[in-house]
A and B are shown apart, each in its own frame.
Chain A
Amino acid sequence: MSAQPAPGGAGVAAPEVALRITDVGMRFGGLWALSEVSFDVERGSVLGLIGPNGSGKTTLMNVISGVYKPTTGAVTYAGKRIADVPTHDVCHLGIARTFQVVKPFASLSVRENVAVGAMYGRNGGKRSTRASFERAQELLEIVGLARVAERPASDLTIPDRKRLEVAKALALDPDVLLLDEVMAGLNATEVDEALELLRDVNRRGVTLIVVEHLMKAIVSISTTIVVLAEGKKIAQGAPSTVLASPQVIEAYLGSRWVKRQEQLKTIEAQRAEAVQIQPPEATA
């Protein structure tokens, strides 16, 4: 990643930085949920954010989307510190998110839920109520919820609520879309559909930041992966290299597991040696 600071954004050539996370730390009471996290997100890329439970992924999503103000450091987008922007204006900058714990407006219909986003999102000022509903219908068709458009949002199954979250976020016409575990609870076919949808969204020029537990899904969609563990960034790079990194394996499976793997390896090696020695005895 390029290290030269470019405050004011407006990168002209080559990989343009959409979002810059600089030395972000987030403290809750005595606990640092995040510390010294820095990375850039290139425009048009798909960044996978992974890490074990409690590693600070959702906290980082909340910092990026302006829900939390970071204790140290800053997230900048197009030269603006997100912490300085009121929550309701973050989406007007072009950043949208979904929530891991879905938040539908229960008494509104599915279509109305999405239409609210279209009304008040980035292009909301230009949209009439009718145009917002038309946009909502388009998005419902894209995410596959058109069949339940008239139902109350509280009526949806969990996978459908996740789809609704995505549709609501897309209704804001974002440049950067933060997806917090939208594939959790989906079956294999649904995951494939979801991935296809996200690829399609990305092809339209939307930068994605994806938090997901499903390794297969995240590897297949991400261009870059950032790994968090205990609030710190422990690895960053292309999916294959990151997942092969011993540090990452240790973070996921524990130091004891790594040690045990090493022990197993030495035992294997010893056995192999032993086997090589033994055959003559056996034949004897």
Chain B
Amino acid sequence: MSVASTGAVLRKIGLGGITGNRTALLISLGLMALLLFVPLALPGYQTLFRTTLVFVALAYAWNMIGGYTGYVSFGNMVFFGLGTYCAALLSARGIDNLVADIALAVVVNAAFAAIIGFPVLRLKGHYFGIATLGTALAVTDIVGNLDVFGGTGGLAVKQVDEAHFAIYYYAAWLVAAGAIAITFFVARSKVGYAFVAIRENEDAAAVLGISATKYKILAWAISAAIAGAAGAVYARGNGFIDPSIAFAEDFNVYPIVMTLLGGTGTVAGPFVGALILSAVNETLGHTFLKLHSLFFGAVIVLVVLLLPRGLVWLIGLRGGVRTWVKSLQGYKA
């Protein structure tokens, strides 16, 4: 996003503020509250919605580093994967406690992100993207070849009996809600402004007293912690983990597409995007078994071309189609 083009787009619309469009946020919170009733109202769809909530959390995780801080990571599935293995390893040692799973995943991931971030976050733009992807692939291979992690054979994760399965749903809901709350409060805090300042102009941010290294690492650690918590809950709900599940490309690509669709750098965007894409994915996945991944490619292209600021931005749009067309001209100019 170049400065001039972003400016042209924003000129007509005004800003949604650092948290993005307020209406969109209220709608999202309402829907989020409704999701709390899924195990009671739609018990048959519990697994589907649990996965959706995991994706909601992952989208928020990506939004923190990719949306707010402007560092487009292509390796966030590594944090999800490590999170799932935290739960699996605890389970293998006879510790079956969701809180312990999540706590371990958060700590391990934040630490891992901080260590990896130190060299990797020195890179910018494409280089950063490639480095994160490389890190993710390397970790996938390491985990797949170590016996502690069960190698390619994977690990079983002990679950509660079927009657109490809703606990995994509520855990996923809490992680997603936590991700939204963290995003909301971080965005409105001083830290959120540091992230955005780094995204907009890292050199100018440094001159204003912002230590770019410190805040980039913080953003990545928060991102990693959220993704890790989502992974831990997913592992428990799934009951089994191997490298192909834990480090599946879906957990990498979907959250990015979801955030782009909803709106990067907003509080409501990832939720809106995750909900819509999960629903579409589910419908298409049944109808066209293999073709539905093509759909994601099409969505990325269309969103980047036609809706670079995401769906959430449309909700508060004044002036309708004309403003929208003008904004596109602004982007091309």
Stretch at the interface among A108-116, A232-240, A264-272: A108-116
Contact between chains at B209 and A107 (CB < 8 Å): no
Stretch at the interface among A44-52, A84-92, A244-252, A253-261: A84-92
Count of inter-chain pairs, beta carbons less than 8 A: 106
**In the complex, what residue of chain A is closest to B201 when comparing beta carbons?**
A103
> Closest CB of chain B to A175's CB: distance in Å?
14
**In the complex, what residue of chain B is closest to A156 when comparing beta carbons?**
B7
CA distance A115 to B196 in the complex (A): 12
Interface string of A222-241 (1 = CB under 8 A from B): 00000000000000000000
Contact between chains at B7 and A106 (CB < 8 Å): yes
Q: Which of A121-140 contact B (CB under 8 A)?
A: 121-122, 124, 129, 132
Question: Is B14 on the interface with A (CB-CB < 8 A)?
Answer: yes
Q: Which residues of B contact A107 (CB under 8 A)?
A: 6, 10, 15, 196, 200, 265
Of B14, B200, B201, B209, the residue contacting A117 (CB under 8 A) is: B209
Contact between chains at B7 and A120 (CB < 8 Å): no
Contact between chains at B10 and A155 (CB < 8 Å): yes
Contact between chains at A88 and B10 (CB < 8 Å): no
**Given known contacts A107-B196, A119-B190, A65 and B3 CB-to-CB distance under 8 angstroms:** no
Q: Which residues of B contact A121 (CB under 8 A)?
A: 208-209
Of B197, B200, B206, the residue contacting A87 (CB under 8 A) is: B206
Interface string of A45-84 (1 = CB under 8 A from B): 0000000000000000000010100000000000000000
Q: Which residues of A contact B188 (CB under 8 A)?
A: 129
**In the complex, what residue of chain A is closest to B6 when comparing beta carbons?**
A106
> Closest CB of chain A to B319's CB: distance in Å?
16
Question: Is A32 on the interface with B (CB-CB < 8 A)?
Answer: no
Q: Which residues of B contact A154 (CB under 8 A)?
A: 3-4, 6-8, 10-11
Contact between chains at A168 and B10 (CB < 8 Å): no
CA distance A108 to B199 in the complex (A): 11
Q: Which residues of B contact A172 (CB under 8 A)?
A: 208-209
CA distance A120 to B8 in the complex (A): 28
Of A90, A97, A112, the residue contacting B18 (CB under 8 A) is: A112
Of A88, A104, A108, A168, the residue contacting B206 (CB under 8 A) is: A88
Question: Is A39 on the interface with B (CB-CB < 8 A)?
Answer: no
Contact between chains at B7 and A168 (CB < 8 Å): no
> Closest CB of chain B to A71's CB: distance in Å?
20
Interface string of B7-31 (1 = CB under 8 A from A): 1101100110110000000000000
Question: Is B189 on the interface with A (CB-CB < 8 A)?
Answer: yes
**Given known contacts A108-B200, A129-B189, A155 and B11 CB-to-CB distance under 8 angstroms:** yes
Question: Is A152 on the interface with B (CB-CB < 8 A)?
Answer: yes
**In the complex, what residue of chain B is closest to A115 when comparing beta carbons?**
B193
> Closest CB of chain A to B249's CB: distance in Å?
30
Contact between chains at B208 and A91 (CB < 8 Å): yes
CA distance A117 to B205 in the complex (A): 9
CA distance A120 to B205 in the complex (A): 9
Interface string of A131-163 (1 = CB under 8 A from B): 010000000000000000011101100000000
CA distance A109 to B19 in the complex (A): 13
Q: Which residues of B contact A171 (CB under 8 A)?
A: 208
Contact between chains at A155 and B7 (CB < 8 Å): yes
Q: Which of B200-251 contact A (CB under 8 A)?
A: 200-201, 203-212
Q: Which residues of A contact B194 (CB under 8 A)?
A: 116, 119-120
CA distance A117 to B206 in the complex (A): 10
Contact between chains at B211 and A86 (CB < 8 Å): yes
> Which of the four size classes fits the interface of chain A?
35 or more
> Closest CB of chain B to A101's CB: distance in Å?
10
CA distance A116 to B14 in the complex (A): 19
**In the complex, what residue of chain B is closest to A165 when comparing beta carbons?**
B204
Contact between chains at B210 and A88 (CB < 8 Å): yes
**In the complex, what residue of chain B is closest to A171 when comparing beta carbons?**
B208
Of B196, B201, B207, the residue contacting A91 (CB under 8 A) is: B207
**Given known contacts A112-B18, A119-B193, A88 and B201 CB-to-CB distance under 8 angstroms:** no
**Given known contacts A132-B190, A155-B10, A97 and B207 CB-to-CB distance under 8 angstroms:** yes
**In the complex, what residue of chain A is closest to B203 when comparing beta carbons?**
A103
Contact between chains at B3 and A106 (CB < 8 Å): yes
CA distance A172 to B204 in the complex (A): 13
> Closest CB of chain B to A105's CB: distance in Å?
4
Q: Which residues of A contact B3 (CB under 8 A)?
A: 104, 106, 154
Measuring CB to CB, which residues of chain B are less than 8 angstroms from any residue of chain A? 3-4, 6-8, 10-11, 14-15, 17-18, 188-190, 193-194, 196-197, 200-201, 203-212, 265
Measuring CB to CB, which residues of chain A are less than 8 angstroms from any residue of chain B? 65, 67, 86-92, 96-97, 99, 103-109, 112, 115-117, 119-122, 124, 129, 132, 150-152, 154-155, 168, 171-172
Known interface pairs A91-B207, A154-B8, A155-B7; 19 further A-B residue pairs with C-beta atoms within 8 A, sorted by A's residue number: A65-B207, A86-B211, A88-B207, A92-B209, A105-B200, A106-B7, A106-B200, A107-B15, A107-B200, A108-B193, A112-B18, A116-B197, A116-B208, A119-B194, A120-B190, A120-B209, A121-B209, A155-B10, A171-B208
Show 24 residue pairs from A and B whose CB-CB distance is below 8 angstroms, ordered by the A residue: A65-B207, A67-B207, A87-B203, A99-B204, A104-B204, A105-B200, A105-B201, A105-B205, A106-B6, A107-B196, A108-B15, A108-B193, A109-B15, A109-B17, A116-B194, A116-B208, A120-B210, A122-B209, A151-B14, A152-B11, A152-B15, A154-B3, A154-B8, A172-B209
